A = this chain, B = another copy of it.
Amino acid sequence: MKTKANEVSQSQRILKAAIKCIAKKGYANASLRDIADEAGVVLSQLNYYYNNKQGLFVEVVKRLSQQYLSEIENILQQGETKREKTAALTEYFQKILKDNPELFKLLFDLSSMALWSDPLRELIDNFFQEVAMLIEKYILQSKWQEDKRLKKYSRAVSRIMLGAMIGTSIQVVLAVDKEELMDSLNAIQVIFAK
C-alpha cells in the first residue's frame, strides 16, 4: 500500500506542513490541528514524531536555519567584487520580498516567537550570528582582518548590514504601499560601499 520509495517520510511532511501553516497564520495562530490537517495526517502523529509543540517548532527553526544559511552562502559566492556581492545580497532580499513575502514573514514571526522561548532564542541567535559571519567573510574581508581594532569594527558592520536588510524588510512587509519601499533597499548598496 505504502510506496516507501517515492513517498516523503511522514515526519518531513509534517515539518513542511508546519512551516506552511506558520508562514500563513503566524506561530501564534497555527494550531497542531491546523498543521495535522495541512499534512493530511491525524493529530496524534505530531506527538509521535515531535513529542510536543515546542519540539516541532524547534525542528522547524533548525530546518529553516540551515536552508537559508546555505542559500545565503550561495548568493554571497556570486559576483567578484564586494560591491557585486552586496548587490547580489540586496537583490536576494528584494526577490524574496517580491515573490515570497511569506518567507520573510516567517523569519520575522519565528524571531519574535524566539523572544519568549530560550531554546528557540538560542537557535535564532546562532542563525543571525552565522549570517553575519558570512557577510563579514565575503563582503568585508580585507586588510581590516589584520588590525585587531578594525577586526572588531568589521564584525559590527556585518551585524549592522544584516540589521539594515532585516529592519528595512520588516518595514516593507508591514507597509501598505510596498512598491516604493522595496526600492529603498537599493540604497543599501550605496551606503555600505566604500
A residues near B, CB below 8 A? 25-29, 105, 108-109, 111-116, 121-122, 124-125, 128-129, 132, 153, 155-157, 159-160, 162-171, 173-176, 181, 183-188, 190-192
In the complex, which residues of chain B have a beta carbon less than 8 angstroms from the beta carbon of A162?
167-168, 171
Q: How far is the CB of A65 from chain B (nearest CB, A)?
A: 13
Q: Which of B108, B191, B192 contacts A112 (CB 8 A)?
A: B108
A157–B187 CB distance below 8 A: yes
Listed A/B pairs (14) with beta-carbon separation below 8 Å: A29-B116, A105-B115, A108-B111, A115-B173, A129-B175, A132-B171, A157-B187, A157-B191, A159-B184, A160-B164, A163-B163, A163-B166, A165-B167, A166-B167
Q: What's the nearest-Cβ distance from chain B to residue A10, in Å?
A: 28
**Smallest CB separation, A92 vs chain B (Å):** 16
| Known A29-B116, A163-B168, A170-B167; contact A176-B108, beta-carbon cutoff 8 A | no
Report the Cα distance A190→B104, complex, angstroms.
29
Q: Which residue in chain B gives the minimum CB-CB distance to A158?
A: B184
